[in-house]
Each structure stands twice: as C-alpha cells, then as structure tokens.
Chains A and B, each alone.
Chain A
Amino acid sequence: MTQRTYGQSDTVDFIVVGSGAAGGVLAKELSTNGFDVVVMEQGPWQQPSQFTHDELAVEREGAMLNTSSEPIQMFRETDKDPWRRNAGRALTYRRGVGGSSVHFAANYWRLRPIDFRERSVLGPISGSAFADWPITYEELEPYYTKVDWEIGVSGTPGPFDPPRSRPYPLPPMHNKSSGVLLERAARAMGLHAQVAPVAILSQPYDGRSPCKSCGHCSYYGCEFGAKSSSLVTVIPKAIATGRCEVRTESTVLRVETNAKGRATGVVYRDKLGNERRQSARAVVIAANGAETTRLLLSSASSAFPMGLANSSGNVGRHIMFNVHSGSFGRFDHPLNEYKGPVASRIIHDFYEADAKRGFYGGGGIDARFPYGPIGFAAGEFPKDLPQWGSEYKSALRDHYAHSVRFAAHITSLPVASNTITLDPDHPDRWGRAGLRLTYQDHPDDTKAKAWFRERAQELMEAAGATHVWSPPVVPTDGGVHLLGTARMGNDARDSVVDRFHRAHDVRNLFICDGSSFVTSGRGQPTMTIQALAFRAADHITQFARAHDI
C-alpha cells in the first residue's frame, strides 16, 4: 500500500512521535477521525517476512534492540554512587515501525479497579510517591475492550478478572504442558490457574492468520503476523486512511515551541543525518518512557528551562520496570516449551497487596520458558549441576525439553529518586544526549521479589518437578517496561500530564505511553498502554474538533 506523504512545508494536524504500542494506536485513531498525521519513527520499516528465529542475532546480540546500536548506558543506584556502565538490562526497547510491540511476549493483562486507587485504599508508603491514578478502571474499561477487538486478543476471563463489557474476540490459545503443570500446582495449593490472555491470534482474525506455534514470541518478531503488534494491526489501518504518513528513520531532536508556549512542530534528523523540520498544530509524544523522557528534556528552552512539560520536575522521575523473580523446575516427561506462545496459564491469586505479608506488593505468576538453547546452556542452566563435561551434557539433555520457569511479574513502587536523565557524555550518532539511569528497588519491591520466589518454588514442588532451582533475587538495573516517567495526575505540581494526557504546561502537547503510568501494575503493561492510547485519542479528537488544542 502506498502511503500518503506530506511536505515539510505542510502544517499537519498531528505529529505522533513513535509508532509502537501507543503511537500506532494514536496514529490509527487520529487519522481515522479525519486528521492529517505524520508519525516520526526512529527505526526502519521491517516486514514480518524479515523476522527470523536466529537466536544468536536476536537474543544474544539483541539485533532488534536499542542496546545493540547504542550500547553505552550509565547506571548508578543513588545520586551518592558513582556512574558506571550498566552491565545489566539497561533501558531496553526496539526502534522500528511497531516499536517494542514487535518483540513483546504479548501477555495482555488488564489492570484491575484496585490498581487505580491503591493509594487511597492502602495509604501512603514511606519512600514512595505512591498515588492514585486520575482515572478509574470504569473509565478505561471500554478502551480495554476496544484493544481486545481492534488488535485481536485471545483468552477467556478468570475468577479474579475485573468486569468486562464484551467477551474476548478470540478463544484461548492451546494450553501448553507448562500450563497443565501450573494448573496441577494450583489445584494442589488451593489456588486458581486461569487462561493467559495474549495478543496473539488463536484463530484467523481481521484478515490475519493465526499462530503457528513457532515458539519465537519473546524478543522476536512474528513472521506470520499472528502476534498483534502495531506493525500488523493499527499501523496498516492508519496508512489505509490516506491521511497518515509513517516517516521512518527519522529521529526527533526536539519539540519546538513559540513565544506563546505552544508546540509548533519538531526538528528531526532524516536517515542521512540531515536536520529537518515538520510543523503541526499539535504534537503527541508516544516514544516510550525512556525516549519520551529524552525528547522532553532535550526540548528545554528559555521558556521551559527544565525541559518541556517539566515544571513539576517529574519528567524522567519514578521510573518503574516491574520486578521479577521465579523458580525453575525439571519434569519427568518432555514439555517442549520451545513450541507455542510464551505462557498459556497464569495465577492471579496474589495479585492484590496484602498487609499481612509485611510489605506492599502484588503480582501474577505464569509458566514460561522463553530460553533458546544457547541462552539456557550458557545462562539459566542450574548452577548446582556440573557446568561442563559429560555430566553437564547429560544434564543439559535431561533438562532442556523438560524444564519450565514459574515466573512472577510484580509491582514496582514509584520512587522519586529513581530517574532517567540525559547523559551529555555519551551522545548518540545524531548528537542527542544519551540516557542514564539512577535506580534502586524500593525495599518493599525487594521483599516482594523474595516472597514471590518462595511462592513460585512451592508451586514448582507442588507441580511435581524432579529438580527445582530458584536463582537468587537480584537488584533491578533496567528492563523493557519503561513506566511512570511522565505520570498522569490532576495536580500540575506533581504530575506531567492531566487525565486526558495533555501536558499541564503546553496546551497542544500530549504525552501517552508507558510514561503515563502512575503505578506499575503487575507486569504486562502493554494492554494498558494501548487502552490509554485509545482513550487519549478519543479525547484529543474531541479537543481538536472543539478547537481546544
């Protein structure tokens, strides 16, 4: 399909920065609603047919990730510690049309009503900027349902699910051996294993073919187009409106503002590095919690000395990754977890925080084994067994097709001193300041990791694993969930955007992606990112039609 293109002298209605989970939705909705849209995307436009199962390139070398092309990120735990190179996970995402929705694992959990008002229910938490969201589950529910039906989500509700206005559009995926074992463990412990909802097609849907169970969801792009990434769902629909241009390999340097404090457009570099400009009536930033931070801080001016939309000082603050822990187990018979989607069953009995545990935190547990042979043999292979030689090989053969991990996906508390800031010492190839991370898990996050590790281990034993190993919990030093760095709120003094994703400081600037999160949820944030984007698009459309942007 040939896309509409705009000239640089055109003033379009909207520039959307980013084409991922949020940007794709915003582009599709705004162009469908009749607006002229230019999407700025840093990366290339890969087609599904270009995605491979090459573990070395994709998982080991991170061919799809920012960390391979821009690998230097500095890290420190607190502002009292010296900067050092981040040898861990760092701020990780994909550049390219569809963004990180291309390589995500596609677990699509909704938040629950409690997620939006935990601060009111539980009270303050020392050392945390714990707060309620300015919206409720009930306000967001129609948009969760819209995500289900617009992009294609497979599942069926579980016993603890929040109310939903419409069933899932697609039946659950096949229950893998790991799901059968998680069910067995749950029954033994009096818990409830439920179907894992995933943004993967269990049946043909909307002209796309269903999952072929190739086993390469997490970290990989889906060559069958069965994973409901923005690349194969909302972006093609945006292009089909004839009003949306996705301008690839275009890296935005800054948002420009005029004397009235309004956004007038963006300055960007094209693929050759030429500096270019695009004008628009309004700018929507949906670049992910790290890149959105970089763009806002890089757009400082005399009118906005702390960075654009940053009068609160909260741009880049409160970064949350969700914390993780878990337990591995090996079973008598093969599971062959190298086939099929990442997870088919989840346990949500521990979703809500419980004061009796002695800390704040809740999460979900799923059964997964997204480890290629290299990754398992060189990494996750149990450390209590020989690491080379005949016994190592024998154990490798015994374990690889027989093993699974019960993985806990847990809350992260928002902490004001956990920040993404600009790093002028490590600019990228276009001269943009690099990103650096100051981060230390809140003590309750650390306790939650340890607590969930014990639960996962109990489940693994209850499932009948013949060998259980539970790696020690480690401090978080990055991740792929980039949440909270431009949080929503009603008070301009302590939030960056209002309940409609409009920047408090700039009337025609909207920010909507993982940065909007006030609290972290229990992992799997993309469903909520997309629901927020559909909702934001409705409100932005109303504002634009009322000439209120």
Chain B
Amino acid sequence: MPTEHITRRHFLGNLSRMAAAGGIALQLPWLSTLAGCARSESGYSHLTRNEGRAMRAFAAQIIPSDDGTPGAEEAGAVYFVDRALGRPLYSASLPVIRAGLADLDERAAPVHASAVFATLSNDEQITIMRRIEHTPFFATARTLVITGTFADASYGGNRNGAGWTMLGIDHQPSYAAPFGWYDARTLAAEPRTGTAA
C-alpha cells in the first residue's frame, strides 16, 4: 500500500518551506516557549475536543498498541500534534488536518447511528483509513503522528520515551562498545580488530 514518498531531505525541505510561508526563522527550539503552556489531560490547545478525539483514534491506527507494546496512544502523539499545529511551521497544515478529522467523523456516521470515528470498532476504523490513505490529509497527519511518537518528549509526545522503547532503542546520552550483536561477537573473538582482509 504505497503512500506518499517522503525522503528525509524532502521532509526537511518541506518543513523549511512551510516555515518560510509563515515568515518565521527557525532559530530557536520552538517548544521552549510553549513548555509552560497549561494543558490538562482532557483538553487541547488547538484542536477541539472532537478533533482531538478523532486525531487520537487516527494516531492509534497509524501506530497501534495491539501487540502489547506502546504505540502512538501511549506516546501521547495527539498532544504533540495539538501543540505542533499551533506554531507557524505546522499551522499551514491546520486546515487540512481540521477538514480531514471532520471527514473521518462524517464517514463514521453512516456506519452506526450517532457514531464518530473514535467510537467505531477497530475493523470499521481500518476500513475508513484504507479509503483515505492516499489523501493529503492522511500523509500530513501520518507524518505528524510519527513525529509525535518519536520526537523528544519536551515536544509533548513520546512520553517516557515510549516511542524509543518500542523501537528497541536504549536511549542514553552516550554508549560503550560493543554496540550490537555483530560487533559484540567480533570483539569476543578478536579483541583488537584491524584492517580487514
């Protein structure tokens, strides 16, 4: 199932250009200014309650938790997305996100009476996700969810390093060799590696 092709450089480039559109120079760690923003567990800074509910369910479909390990939900990715949409770099995406989240709920309505996306069953949500997976909303929201799952916790997501833990990263400021399975075996076999044959 192909989605948009985002290389790192394109991602970087796009973010830079989004920043330019907002006329903002990205010189400072942006969330340092937002770090003090009050936020309660039930409230969002930029998404409405309904949008937040849909975003949270969308995030849990992108990186689920059904295998017993943390996913976007445990990482609190929705809170990253909520905060990110409030700053110039990402605010250009806000209309696309808003429309897409409303669309998710609209697509849920015919499934069950008074249903919204978040109240659908897992399979029902996946059916809707498949219908929209090639839309700009999906690509943008997916990237935001991934970013919120793995970015530093100071940005609102990746709580307790949940995203890093999920990937098998032992997140430390520095490390000692050996680093992985293959160099550990080599070190054990020949403590001093030199030029390979």
Across the interface, do A379 and B7 meet the contact criterion of CB distance under 8 Å?
A: yes
- Of A64-72, A236-244, A307-315, the one touching chain B: A64-72
Complex: how many Å from CA A180 to CA B186? 7
Complex: how many Å from CA A56 to CA B143? 12
> Does B193 count as interface, using CB distance less than 8 angstroms?
yes
Interface centre among B1, B183, B185 (most CB of A within 10 A): B183
- Mark contacts of B95-133 with chain A using CB atoms, 8 A cut-off: 1 yes-contact digit, 0 otherwise: 000000000000000000000000000000010010001
Across the interface, do A176 and B179 meet the contact criterion of CB distance under 8 Å?
A: yes
Across the interface, do B166 and A397 meet the contact criterion of CB distance under 8 Å?
A: yes
Q: List chain B residues, Cβ under 8 A from A378.
A: 6, 11, 142-143, 146-147
> Does A183 count as interface, using CB distance less than 8 angstroms?
yes
Q: List chain B residues, Cβ under 8 A from A156.
A: 194-195
A375 — nearest CB in chain B belongs to which residue?
Answer: B8
Q: List chain B residues, Cβ under 8 A from A400.
A: 167-169
Across the interface, do B167 and A373 meet the contact criterion of CB distance under 8 Å?
A: yes
Shortest CB-to-CB span from B69 to chain A, Å, is 7
B58 — nearest CB in chain A belongs to which residue?
Answer: A388
A387 — nearest CB in chain B belongs to which residue?
Answer: B3
Shortest CB-to-CB span from B168 to chain A, Å, is 4
Given contacts A71-B20, A87-B13, A389-B61, contact A180 B174 (CB under 8 A): no
A44 — nearest CB in chain B belongs to which residue?
Answer: B27
Shortest CB-to-CB span from B35 to chain A, Å, is 13
Given contacts A177-B179, A397-B167, contact A388 B133 (CB under 8 A): yes
Q: List chain A residues, Cβ under 8 A from B13.
A: 67, 86-90
- Of A105-113, A207-215, A252-260, A533-541, the one touching chain B: A207-215
Given contacts A373-B169, A378-B146, A388-B142, contact A88 B9 (CB under 8 A): yes
Q: List chain B residues, Cβ under 8 A from A383.
A: 2, 5
Q: List chain A residues, Cβ under 8 A from B17.
A: 71-72, 85, 87
> Does B25 count as interface, using CB distance less than 8 angstroms?
yes
> Does B66 count as interface, using CB distance less than 8 angstroms?
yes
> Does B57 count as interface, using CB distance less than 8 angstroms?
no
Q: Which residues of chain A (168-185) have a CB below 8 Å from chain B?
A: 172, 174-177, 179-181, 183
Q: Which residues of chain B (170-197) have a CB below 8 Å from chain A?
A: 170, 173-186, 193-197
> Does B39 count as interface, using CB distance less than 8 angstroms?
no
Q: Which residues of chain A (346-384) have a CB below 8 Å from chain B?
A: 371-375, 377-380, 383
Across the interface, do A183 and B196 meet the contact criterion of CB distance under 8 Å?
A: yes
> Does A120 count as interface, using CB distance less than 8 angstroms?
no
Q: List chain B residues, Cβ under 8 A from A67.
A: 12-13, 16
Across the interface, do B61 and A379 meet the contact criterion of CB distance under 8 Å?
A: no
- Mark contacts of B143-154 with chain A using CB atoms, 8 A cut-off: 1 yes-contact digit, 0 otherwise: 100110111101
Shortest CB-to-CB span from A184 to chain B, Å, is 8
Please tell me which one of the listed residues A72, A90, A345, A390 contacts residue B67 in the complex, with CB atoms under 8 A apart.
Answer: A390
Given contacts A71-B20, A89-B9, A339-B175, contact A62 B26 (CB under 8 A): yes
Across the interface, do B10 and A88 meet the contact criterion of CB distance under 8 Å?
A: yes
B155 — nearest CB in chain A belongs to which residue?
Answer: A56
> Does A194 count as interface, using CB distance less than 8 angstroms?
yes
B3 — nearest CB in chain A belongs to which residue?
Answer: A387
A347 — nearest CB in chain B belongs to which residue?
Answer: B196
Across the interface, do B12 and A62 meet the contact criterion of CB distance under 8 Å?
A: yes
> Does A396 count as interface, using CB distance less than 8 angstroms?
yes
> Does A54 count as interface, using CB distance less than 8 angstroms?
yes
A429 — nearest CB in chain B belongs to which residue?
Answer: B25
Across the interface, do B195 and A159 meet the contact criterion of CB distance under 8 Å?
A: yes
Given contacts A89-B13, A214-B175, contact A69 B26 (CB under 8 A): yes
> Does B36 count as interface, using CB distance less than 8 angstroms?
no
Interface centre among B8, B167, B170, B182 (most CB of A within 10 A): B182
Shortest CB-to-CB span from A343 to chain B, Å, is 13
Complex: how many Å from CA A55 to CA B148? 11
Q: List chain B residues, Cβ under 8 A from A371.
A: 8
> Does A53 count as interface, using CB distance less than 8 angstroms?
yes
Given contacts A62-B26, A397-B166, contact A55 B152 (CB under 8 A): yes
Shortest CB-to-CB span from A26 to chain B, Å, is 28
Complex: how many Å from CA A400 to CA B142? 18
A158 — nearest CB in chain B belongs to which residue?
Answer: B195
> Does A164 count as interface, using CB distance less than 8 angstroms?
no
Across the interface, do B2 and A401 meet the contact criterion of CB distance under 8 Å?
A: no
- Mark contacts of B27-38 with chain A using CB atoms, 8 A cut-off: 1 yes-contact digit, 0 otherwise: 101100000000
Complex: how many Å from CA A55 to CA B196? 33
Complex: how many Å from CA A69 to CA B155? 21
Given contacts A340-B177, A388-B129, A401-B168, contact A57 B150 (CB under 8 A): no
Q: List chain B residues, Cβ under 8 A from A56.
A: 147, 151-152, 155
- Some 17 contacts from A to B, beta carbons below 8 A apart, are A56-B147, A57-B29, A57-B30, A60-B11, A60-B12, A63-B29, A68-B16, A71-B19, A85-B17, A86-B13, A176-B180, A212-B175, A224-B174, A339-B179, A373-B163, A377-B150, A400-B169
Interface residues, chain A, with chain B CB atoms under 8 Å away: 52-57, 59-63, 67-69, 71-72, 85-90, 156-159, 172, 174-177, 179-181, 183, 186-187, 192-195, 212-215, 224, 331, 333-340, 345, 371-375, 377-380, 383, 386-390, 392-394, 396-397, 400-401, 471, 474
Interface residues, chain B, with chain A CB atoms under 8 Å away: 1-3, 5-17, 19-20, 25-27, 29-30, 61-64, 66-67, 69, 71, 89, 126, 129, 133, 142-143, 146-147, 149-152, 154-155, 163-164, 166-170, 173-186, 193-197
Given A59-B12, A67-B16, list of 19 further CB < 8 A pairs?
A54-B151, A55-B152, A56-B155, A59-B8, A61-B15, A71-B17, A90-B13, A156-B195, A157-B195, A176-B180, A180-B183, A183-B196, A213-B176, A214-B175, A333-B181, A336-B170, A373-B167, A378-B147, A387-B2
